[in-house]
Amino acid sequence: MIVAALTDIGNFREKNEDYYYASFDKDFPLFIVADGMGGHNGGEIASKLAVESVVEYFKDNYPKLKTKEANAIEELVKNSVKFANKVVYSYACAECELEGMGTTLTLLFFEKNHFFIGHIGDSRAYLIRNKKILQITEDHSFVEELVKMGKITQEEARVHPQKNIITRALGVDEEVEVDIFYGDVLPQDILCLCTDGLTNLVRDEDILQEFSKNKDITKACENLVNMAKENGGYDNITIVAVKEVGL
């Protein structure tokens, strides 16, 4: 398993409200991206707190699992995100100036040749396999709802003035609904997590092309971040990629 991770403040933001975690321990293959929101430092606090809470939950509870079957891992993923939600929500409630802060969160975990994803918000997880790219997660956003209703196309969604409005975030409410995804991992698969600072400015085809032409996934990540900056770079940009080189 080869890992690459990169975050960039972008061209215009004064601070980086994205946060990520990438494990280089094959016995603890956990990867997370989060894109914070909220005034007065709320965004960067929310994303960092959420990611660190998920990591803490995994480290405390993964070793205690009686079984590592799929349903147990799915429950672990879901509970880790719900734990992070309570932590961020409680912190915001205790600090008046941080009221309403929140974050997206997309996590990836590997167990027994399978991947597990927990997801809230409009950061994304992709699977690149056999020269094809698949968006695994679904954006929890206003424009995605318009696309699902057939009111706008995917291309129109990319440039919609309200594309940054998300419909589900971690830490905003006391309870949160978590999307869970599960699938097999094959040799040469690449799983990629990224915030919307990348996906709003770089097309899926460009992501596929960079990982297809660069054997070095770190180089691919660097090229994609630079591409997003060249295309405007108006938001923070984060990407985490994991390549399975042998099972």
Can you list the domains of the chain with their CATH numbers? 2-243 (3.60.40.10)
The confidence band for 156, taking pLDDT boundaries of 50, 70 and 90, is low
Mean pLDDT for the chain? 91
Q: Is the pLDDT of residue 85 over 80?
A: yes
Q: Is the pLDDT of residue 161 over 70?
A: no
Q: Is the pTM above the cut of 0.85?
A: yes
Q: Name which residue leads in pLDDT, 67 or 236.
A: 236
With contact defined as beta carbons under 8 Å apart, do 150 and 157 qualify? Answer: no
